[in-house]
């Protein structure tokens, strides 16, 4: 019994392990639903399964003579070969290719004004998209016929495709008006005398499926737009003959058709003609039959699905326009303000104020950083600015504190505490710091000798409460590292220049930032309310009236995640934490003073560019894929390369500002195709977590200790790392 219970527990555990994580499942379901909506939209817009081929003329020796010389109503049901003419002084107006939201209502208005009735041969695509118009046609006493779903030349199609075209057309008609019809007009049809050996077998097959084929014997040729007078002349029958008159209420500009119709009906009614439906003119039962039961509900479901796809696609198009505008506006703003920022801080004689020469306390919160901490501390002791180093060991279990203590370096202290998280470690460090200027960094980060000095110079301006440094990716020799390198240089540091000029810097990077002790004290220190304590403290600084600026020369080399799983965990925490921070400080929007200024300027910009825009950005790639498959392909490719070119210009300028090698930008197109998709899904997962009230715990990334200073120099002057660990950044 115990063994059986154990086996059952193991099996249940295996099931739990195999279960698809929600972070994959929900984004995947959303993506599948989105693509399904787009596919359905393409289907009903003749972009999928459409066949625009037209059969060339053929001989007609196998077409019965009575059909070629007969009337426009052809009945091949149950093996018949009958044709019927419309009685004298009776005209059956027929309108093809609709319903159209622009022209069908105008045609119906003219018919109603003259108390005339007609037959509308609708396509399934248009009936699915505009079911209300089909219902209006039926309600106002007109007849409806089938004109296939996708409007292909049926003489080029298989019987299976013909059946499909008919059944889909009937499905749309059932969903739109709750009826079926027995009337059918083949696309590209003409007079009965034009039927040939290719179209006649189709007509026979259509009859075997229970349909009466309606062609015409008076063609207005309104599709040519020859002018109102010519349309009337073409549509007028000879003598007193009755006729089936061909017109169109869709497929282009039908203003001439509407204008001609008004004069045409009025004139022929004065001549004694009547305008009625086909079955009324022939005095036979209506072609309509009511649909009930499952067929009705299938039709209704189809129409609802099409309407949902139409509405979804319309919303996506609006979203694409918005995101396109936001992306271009952001790039333009970044370039403009980055140029101004560079000119400002690089002009000769620029100074933040008095030079800062007093000692600085550098805080290094560390949790299980044994592989990195030695390089980090050695890089700090090489600083050209007087500092004290405080390593706050947050309950490490790998001997991090002991490694630092064994170094026995001057001005380096270790403070131990039970594991309480990074914010608590930083607050503990502030409490133990001797000096008024506090530099904070991560335990996996390496500083250059000038980093601390450059980082604290802005404090020469007494209004500056915090400074953001220039965080750079050290392990950039892998593809995923190179992509993050582009992101850091362009997406983060170029952004920081823009936000600096707008005085709404959203985040001081945890890898390299500096604070006034008095400013930290006024805002209550580092908070653990969010997972993005760096964004939280930065917004708090703004709300308290302090300036937050960017020091471009304060470079810090940090170890970026080296696997997709690690990157996912980091960015998930960042994006979710940013949402938490914005929500926490939401009252800034309605407050006065500095808090209100950031709330009404900084918060909208941060929300727009860091949360909303990235969330909508996948629309660019979704429509790229859709356009590549279903067209217009050339315009789609040009648009995508246009966006890529704008990004490349911004990235090149950012690399020039940071004096980085341009060769890394060779992977920019691949980054846009692959890396960006991962960031989309991460942000979507963060939104889902936030909206569902989920909680996200802190996730510790695995470190390799692979990051050193540029050029390969060991921070502490010691022996080089092992070959497999030599992952220094390319200078």
Cα 501 vs. chain centroid, distance in angstroms?
A: 30
**Residue 45 pLDDT:** 81
Q: Predicted confidence band at 43 (pLDDT cuts at 50, 70, 90)?
A: confident
The arithmetic mean of pLDDT across residues 54-75, rounded, is: 94
Q: Give the residue, 696 or 410, on which the prediction is more confident.
A: 410
Per 3-state DSSP, the chain is made up of helix, strand and coil in percentages (nearest 5) of 55, 15, 30
Predicted confidence (pLDDT) per residue in 89-110, tens digit: 999 999 999 999 999 999 999 9
Lowest-confidence range among 354-358, 595-599, 640-644?
A: 640-644
* SS3 of residue 412 by DSSP: strand
- Degrees (nearest 5) of the Cα angle 173, 174, 180? 80
Question: Is pLDDT of 586 > 70?
Answer: yes
Residue 322 burial (C-beta neighbours within 10 Å; 0-12, 13-18, 19+): middle
**Does the structure show a pLDDT above 60 at 281?**
yes
What pLDDT does 260 receive? 97
For residues 444-469, give the mean pLDDT. 95
Does position 258 have pLDDT exceeding 90, yes or no?
yes
Q: What is the pLDDT of residue 545?
A: 94
- Work out the average pLDDT over 580-586: 91
pLDDT score of 41? 83
**pLDDT above 90: residue 667:** no
**Residue 596 predicted with pLDDT over 50:** yes
Q: What is the pLDDT of residue 115?
A: 96
| pLDDT of the residue at 288 | 97
Catalytically annotated residues: 96, 248
State what percent of residues in the chain have pLDDT above 70.
89
Rounded average pLDDT over 166-181 = 97
Query: What's the pLDDT at 20?
Result: 56
Which residues have a Cβ under 8 Å from the Cβ of 112 and sit 6 or more positions away? Answer: 140
The confidence score (pLDDT) of residue 602 equals 87
Of the listed ranges 202-211, 495-504, 514-523, the least confidently predicted one is 495-504
What mean pLDDT value characterizes the chain?
86
Q: What is the mean pLDDT of residues 355-373?
A: 93
Q: Which residue has the higher pLDDT, 237 or 678?
A: 237
Q: Report which of 497, 653, 464, 688 is spatially closest to residue 575, judged by C-alpha positions.
A: 688
pLDDT over threshold 90, residue 25? no
8 A C-beta contact, residue 466 and residue 513: yes
Per-residue pLDDT band at 83 (split at 50, 70, 90): very high
- For residues 6-29, give the mean pLDDT: 55
Q: Assign 2 a pLDDT band (cuts: 50, 70, 90).
A: very low
pLDDT classification of 135: cutoffs 50, 70, 90: very high
Give the pLDDT score at 717: 43
Q: Cβ–Cβ contacts within 10 Å for residue 245, how many?
A: 27
The pLDDT of 700-713, averaged and rounded, is 55
pLDDT of 593 over the 80 cut:
yes
Higher pLDDT, 75 or 49: 75
The whole-number average pLDDT for the span 232-239 is: 94
Whole-number Å distance between alpha carbons of 665 and 648:
8
Q: What is the pLDDT of residues 305-316, one digit of tens each?
A: 999 988 888 887
Provide mean pLDDT across the span 127-149: 97
Q: What are phi and psi of 659, to 5 degrees?
A: 55, 45
- For residue 709, what pLDDT is reported? 61
More confidently predicted of 155 and 20: 155
- Work out the angle at residue 367's Cα, subtended by the Cα atoms of residues 361 and 368, and round it to the nearest 5 degrees: 125
Helices (H), 92-180: 104-113, 124-129, 131-139, 159-177
Work out the average pLDDT over 584-589.
Answer: 92
pLDDT, tens digit (0-9, with 9 covering 90-100), for 536-554: 999 999 999 999 999 999 9
- Going by DSSP bridges, is the β-strand pair 437-440/360-366 parallel, antiparallel, or unpaired? parallel
Q: Which residues of 294-305 are buried (b: 16+ CB within 10 A; e: fewer)?
A: eeeeebbebbeb
């Amino acid at each position: 019994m115990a063994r059986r219970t154990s086996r059952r527990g193991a099996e249940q555990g295996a099931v739990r392990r195999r279960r698809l994580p929600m972070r994959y499942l929900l984004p995947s379901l959303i993506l599948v639903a989105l693509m399904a909506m787009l596919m359905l939209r393409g289907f009903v817009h003749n972009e999928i399964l459409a066949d625009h081929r037209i059969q060339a003329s053929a001989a007609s020796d196998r077409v019965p003579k009575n059909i070629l010389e007969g009337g426009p109503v052809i009945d091949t049901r149950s093996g018949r070969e009958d044709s019927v003419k419309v009685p004298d002084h009776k005209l059956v107006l027929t309108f093809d290719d609709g319903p159209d939201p622009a022209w069908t209502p105008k045609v119906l208005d003219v018919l109603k004004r003259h108390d005339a009735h007609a037959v509308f041969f609708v396509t399934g695509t248009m009936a699915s998209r505009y079911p209300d118009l089909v219902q209006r046609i039926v309600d106002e006493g007109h007849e409806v016929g089938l004109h296939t779903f996708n409007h292909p030349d049926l003489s080029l199609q298989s019987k299976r495709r013909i059946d499909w075209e008919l059944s889909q057309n009937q499905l749309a008609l059932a969903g739109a008006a709750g009826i079926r019809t027995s009337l059918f007009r083949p696309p590209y049809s003409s007079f009965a005398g034009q039927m040939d050996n290719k179209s006649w077998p189709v007509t026979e097959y259509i009859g075997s499926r229970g349909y009466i084929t309606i062609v015409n014997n008076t063609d207005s040729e309104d599709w040519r737009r020859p002018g109102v007078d010519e349309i009337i002349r073409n549509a007028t029958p000879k003598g007193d003959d009755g006729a089936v008159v061909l017109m169109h209420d869709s497929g282009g500009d039908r203003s001439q058709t509407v204008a001609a119709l008004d004069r045409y009906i009025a004139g022929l009614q004065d001549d004694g003609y009547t305008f009625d439906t086909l079955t009324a003119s022939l005095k036979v039962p209506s072609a309509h039959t009511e649909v009930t039961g499952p067929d009705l509900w299938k039709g209704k479901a189809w129409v609802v699905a099409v309407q949902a796809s139409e509405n979804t696609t319309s919303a996506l198009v609006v979203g694409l326009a918005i995101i396109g505008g936001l992306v271009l506006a952001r790039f333009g703003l970044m370039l403009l303000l980055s140029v101004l920022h560079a000119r400002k801080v690089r002009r000769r004689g620029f100074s933040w104020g008095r030079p800062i020469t007093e000692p600085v306390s550098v805080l290094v919160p560390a949790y299980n950083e044994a592989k990195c901490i030695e390089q980090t501390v050695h890089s700090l002791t090489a600083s050209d600015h007087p500092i004290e180093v405080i390593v706050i060991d947050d309950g490490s279990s790998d001997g991090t504190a002991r490694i630092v203590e064994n170094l026995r370096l001057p001005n380096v202290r270790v403070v131990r505490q039970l594991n309480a998280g990074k914010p608590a470690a930083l607050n503990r460090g502030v409490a133990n710091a001797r000096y008024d200027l506090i530099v904070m960094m991560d335990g996996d980060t390496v500083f250059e000798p000038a980093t601390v000095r450059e980082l604290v110079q802005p404090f020469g301006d007494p209004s500056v409460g915090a400074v953001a440094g220039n965080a750079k990716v050290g392990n950039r020799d892998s593809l995923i590292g190179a992509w993050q390198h582009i992101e850091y240089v362009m997406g983060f540091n170029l952004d920081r220049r823009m936000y600096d000029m707008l005085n709404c810097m959203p985040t001081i990077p945890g890898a390299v930032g500096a604070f006034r002790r008095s400013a930290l004290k006024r805002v209550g220190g580092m908070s653990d309310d969010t997972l993005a304590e760096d964004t939280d403290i930065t917004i708090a600084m703004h709300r308290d009236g302090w300036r937050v600026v960017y020091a471009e020369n304060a470079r810090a080399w940090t170890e970026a995640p080296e696997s997709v799983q690690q990157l996912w965990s980091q960015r998930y925490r960042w994006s979710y934490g940013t949402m938490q921070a914005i929500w926490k400080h939401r009252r800034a929007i309605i407050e006065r003073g500095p808090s209100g200024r950031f709330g009404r300027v900084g918060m909208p910009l941060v929300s727009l560019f860091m949360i909303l825009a990235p969330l909508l950005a996948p629309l660019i790639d979704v429509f790229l894929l859709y356009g590549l498959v279903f067209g217009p392909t050339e315009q789609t490719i040009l648009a995508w390369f246009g966006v890529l070119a704008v990004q490349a210009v911004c990235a090149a300028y950012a690399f020039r500002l940071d004096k980085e090698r341009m060769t890394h930008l060779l992977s920019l197109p691949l980054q846009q195709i692959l890396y960006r998709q991962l960031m989309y899904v991460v942000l979507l997962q963060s939104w889902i977590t936030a909206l569902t009230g989920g909680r996200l715990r802190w996730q510790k990334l695995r470190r390799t200790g692979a990051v050193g200073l540029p050029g390969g120099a060991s921070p502490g002057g010691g022996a080089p790392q092992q070959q497999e660990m030599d992952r220094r950044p390319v200078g």
